[in-house]
A and B are shown apart, each in its own frame.
Chain A
Amino acid sequence: MAIKAILVINKSGGLVYHRNFSNEESLSSNDYLIIASTLHGAFAIASQLTPRAVQLGEASNAVDYTIPYIPYVGFPRSNANQNEKSRFSSNNVSITTSLGSFKGDDYFKEPFQSWNKSGIRQLCTDQFTMFIYQTMTGLKFIAISTQIPANVNNSDYPIISIQVADNLLRKIYCVYSDYVMKDPFYSMEMPIKSELFDQRVRQMVSNIA
């Protein structure tokens, strides 16, 4: 799952962070702003759609929103292969050891509930797949991946990746709570300029195989 971009959208639909991981920068900042606000709107519209759609399909009323914990998503030791690992550790030795105010070897270790129940969680197109993690405070963390659901027959594949994505995006939320929220010079709802946050996000994404 190669992640192409990470976006963070604040509760009023404004883009506060974007990072493109592909080499060619094809979009202008303005384009990103448009994507963010469009997505914010589409998300709201989709959630209007969901209850009806759920009624159409015969989904039981007890939907399980639990996301399983997948160990070490975004860490070099697990998903990365040996080659990846050595390349990584030679570049960023210092950063891998510390998780900020989080203690232990992973940010969290238990399955968790998704707060995003009726909005878009995953959007698949022929060109890309998009994952959205929304927090209780209304922040949206978005990962855009180049992965396309070509091998639809293998039904396990897309399910795993939304779970991986939710794990990754919650970890980015953890990093955000440390490096953005605890930056005394950050003003709420404003674009994130933190170098440290950017560094951590890049690092995590580069560890997703």
Chain B
Amino acid sequence: MSNSSSMPAQAKSLKHAGEDIWKNRTEKVNAELFTLTYGAIVSQLCTDYERNFQKVNEQLYSMGYNIGVRLIEDFLARTALPRCENMVSTSEVVSKCAFKIFLNITPQITNWSHEKDAFSLILVENPLSDFVELPMDAMKQLWYSNILCGVLRGALEMVQLDCDVWFISDVLRGDPQTELRIKLNKVLKDEIPIGED
């Protein structure tokens, strides 16, 4: 009872915190510069890997991972949020705070697994892929925004959540929506810093 009534309130304050940090506490960069920079990286990778899109996906993922393990410190320094007790609150923090602060979007959280250990984020808008049209040969293979999966994976791992993150669909491929899946493998209990209790 108390749990169900406290959840919306918590979610609301997270939303508020995310918006406040985005609006008042964070310096911005030009969105088009950002989008074009990312686009240049992806298209250069496609050329460098001779259009082996599987390799490009992997490379984007590992670049994202390296960003994630660093970016989490920025996120925590900014928010100082307490540890999430379950994946439900993790999903709220990821969507309402993390995506809000770094990309100014709030993906929808849906498709919870039965055990509440996996969920989907629906990216209604994706700042990475503005202006993008995939070339025909990449349509079936390239996950254009795969860097996001790596970022989430790296960031969650640093707060001791071992997760798999992957894309299920992408509007760039002609799918009706862009869906990103996050599945918790296990909580790395041994690595939780001593003293946190």
Contact = CB atoms under 8 A, between A and B. Distances in A.
Given A47-B194, A104-B25, A119-B194, A135 B70 contact: no
B73 A188 contact: no
A113 B25 contact: no
Contact of B70 (A100, A113, A118, A181): A181
Contacts of B191: 11, 138
Of A47, A104, A109, A181, most buried by chain B (CB within 10 Å of CB) is: A181
B77 A176 contact: yes
A113 B77 contact: no
B76 A136 contact: yes
A113 to B, nearest CB: 5
Interface string B53-76: 000000000000000011111101
B90 to A, nearest CB: 12
B77 A177 contact: yes
Contact of B24 (A11, A103, A120): A103
Interface stretch (B35-43, B78-86, B107-115, B122-130): B78-86
B195 A118 contact: yes
Interface residues of B, number: 25
B74 A101 contact: yes
B104 to A, nearest CB: 14
B73 A44 contact: no
Given A44-B195, A101-B26, A101-B27, 18 more contacts: A43-B194, A47-B195, A104-B24, A109-B25, A113-B81, A116-B196, A117-B197, A118-B196, A119-B195, A134-B195, A135-B77, A136-B196, A137-B193, A138-B193, A139-B73, A170-B80, A177-B74, A181-B74
Interface of A: 11, 43-44, 46-47, 50-51, 100-104, 107-109, 112-113, 115-120, 134-139, 170, 173-174, 176-178, 181-182, 188
Interface of B: 24-27, 69-74, 76-78, 80-83, 158-159, 191, 193-197
